[in-house]
Amino acid sequence: MQELNSKINIIRGLLERKALSKAEAQKLLGLDDKNFSALFELSLDLSEGVKNVLVCGGAGFIGSNFVRHMLEAHPSYKIVNFDKLTYAGNLENLRDIEKNPNYTFVQGDITDLEQLNKTIQDHNITHVINFAAETHVDRSIHGGSKEFVMTNSLGVQMILDAVKMNNIEKFVNVSTDEVYGALELESEDMFREDTPIMPNMPYAAAKAGGDLMCNAYWKTHGTPVVVTHCSNNYGPYQFPEKLIPFFIFKLINDEKVPVYGDGLNVRDWIHVRDHASALDLLLHKGEPGEVYNIGSDNERNNMEVTRLMLKLLGKDESSIEYVTDRPGHDRRYAIDASKIFSLGWKPVYTREKFEEGLKETVDWYLANTEWVEALRKKKDEMNNWQESYFKNNKK
């Protein structure tokens, strides 16, 4: 322990005096890359002040990847995962870190202000980040949108109240590029932070409601909130109703994959671990009252993504089945992320590395059959209505 403390002190001294480069410090301490970067992060945490972070919706896809990222990147922080565990919440996503002494799970609903306040006070929370949402666009279209408004709009307002009442240092509300509406396929326009909010789907409109509340609390009360708009995520632990895992599941089972309309709709794909590192940066360096777009400059149409998956899983185009387009299907999303790039953030999985990231994702699903099987048991909630929708809408 004493040895660790003295190493931390050396690094902190070096940092403050800018006496040595990181590479020179690593050589001096005789540490490999992994140990050096862990020690380096720890020394940064100690010099900036340890944080107790409330992660709302941490049992879902992006939230669970974020929790894992934070425990690795900031070994001294306390992370409290506050999640209602809807059909999309899955504690199996966090099985490997559940015994980490710096991690706590609380089952709770973000629309319940009393429960939010109690959790914040019990755990001496300093920072809040919100992933909790109803997220499946098709459900918001075909299954009713009340729950979407409750969680995505009212839930955010409850968190804002809790943040304000408990003098939280910073709140990051994780939102989506879908609030901007759609871009023309032929245009070269991109969503910028000042692009008007014009959502076309109930899911996106409910998310926009939460975002507008954040802006209003900042302007009215000075509540220190940062809003993010990210593009489509892919990676491990995604609930298999979303495009990439849904297709992987189908192809593994020798079933056809349903492609909406002409398959030319464009999305800007980002690896979930890159999204997590961007949010980590904004939790620390994001300016309260500001909005940040997050994306990897990786526009692909659905056919391109589908063909890549067919290739990775050894299938051909006979595995595709075209279905009637989704009502109000936005044609193209593209993110201008220059604002967060200017803070020094860089994605690891750039456009050039998309196929590599997709391959790792496919391999992850193939290697984690227990996780996949547990979800298959939830099949009723997962795909019953989705399956019958695609069956009835074959072209």
Ligand X SMILES: NC(=O)c1ccc[n+]([C@@H]2O[C@H](COP(=O)([O-])OP(=O)(O)OC[C@H]3O[C@@H](n4cnc5c(N)ncnc54)[C@H](O)[C@@H]3O)[C@@H](O)[C@H]2O)c1
State in angstroms the smallest separation of the CB of 124 from ligand X.
Answer: 20
Nearest to 132 by CA among 98, 81, 91: 81
| Near ligand X by CB under 6 A: residue from 42, 62, 128, 160 | 62
Q: Please give the size of the binding site for ligand X, defined by CB under 6 A.
A: 29
235: contact with ligand X by CB under 6 A: no
C-beta nearest to ligand X: residue: 60
Whole-angstrom distance, CA of residue 380 vs CA of residue 280: 35
Residues 6 or more apart whose CB falls under 8 angstroms from that of 296 comprise: 231, 268, 269, 270, 271, 274, 337, 347, 349, 350, 351
Between residues 71 and 113, which has the closer beta carbon with respect to ligand X?
Answer: 113
Q: Which one of 103, 191, 239, 345 is in contact with ligand X (CB under 6 A)? A: 239
- Determine the Cα–Cα distance for residues 279 and 67; give it in Å rounded to an integer: 11
- Find the length of the chain: 395
Question: In this structure, how many other beta carbons lie within 10 angstroms of the beta carbon of residue 86?
Answer: 18
Q: Which of 134, 138, 178, 299 is catalytic?
A: 178
Catalytic residue among 45, 177, 268, 280: 177
Q: Which two tokens stand for residue 181?
A: 């509406």
Q: Where are the alpha helices (DSSP H) in 222-335?
A: 243-252, 272-285, 302-312
User: What is the closest distance, in whole angstroms, from the C-beta atom of residue 1 to ligand X in the complex?
Assistant: 37
DSSP string, 324-351: PPPTT---B--B--HHHHTTT---SS-G
Task: Reduce the DSSP state of residue 252 to 3 states and report it.
Answer: helix
Interface with ligand X (CB under 6 A), residue from 53, 163, 168, 230: 230
Least separation in angstroms between residue 2's CB and ligand X is 41
Q: Is 243 in the site for ligand X (CB under 6 A)?
A: no
Candidates 80, 120, 128, 132: give the one binding ligand X (CB under 6 A).
Answer: 132
Cβ of residue 58: shortest distance to ligand X, in angstroms? 7
Give me the least distance between CB of 152 and ligand X, in Å please: 7
Q: Is 54 exposed, middle or buried (0-12, 13-18, 19+ CB in 10 A)?
A: buried
User: Does 298 interact with ligand X (rule: CB under 6 A)?
Assistant: no
Cβ burial of 37 (10 Å; 0-12, 13-18, 19+) is middle
Q: Is 203 known to be catalytic?
A: yes
Shortest approach of ligand X to residue 280 CB, angstroms? Answer: 15
Are the beta carbons of 301 and 329 closer than 8 angstroms? no
Can you tell me which of 84, 139, 170, 250 binds ligand X, judged by CB under 6 A? 84
Q: Which stretch binds ligand X (CB under 6 A): 23-31, 60-68, 217-225, 346-354?
A: 60-68
Position among 133, 156, 282, 340 found at the interface with ligand X (CB under 6 A)? 133
Burial group, residue 30, by CB count within 10 angstroms (0-12, 13-18, 19+): exposed
- Interaction of residue 249 with ligand X, rule CB under 6 A: no
The footprint of ligand X (CB under 6 A) covers 56-57, 59-63, 83-86, 88-89, 109-111, 131-133, 135, 151, 155, 174, 176, 207, 230, 232-233, 239
